Amino acid sequence: MNIYALEGFNVTVAQDPGNGSVRGGDESDKELVGKYLEVGREYTVERTEVHGWHTEVFLREVPGVAFNSTNFEDVHEQDEANDQKHADWARFN
pLDDT in tens, 20-65: 678 888 889 889 999 999 888 999 999 999 999 999 999 999 999 9
Q: Indicate the pLDDT class of residue 15, thresholds 50, 70 and 90.
A: confident
In a domain, 17, yes or no: yes
pLDDT at 75: 97
Query: What is the model's pTM?
Result: 0.92
Count of the separate structural domains present in the chain: 1
Domain membership of residue 1 (yes or no) is no
Share of the chain above pLDDT 90, in %: 80
Range of the domain at 16: 10-86
The beta strand positions in 1-93, using DSSP E, are 10-13, 42-50, 55-59, 62-68, 72-74
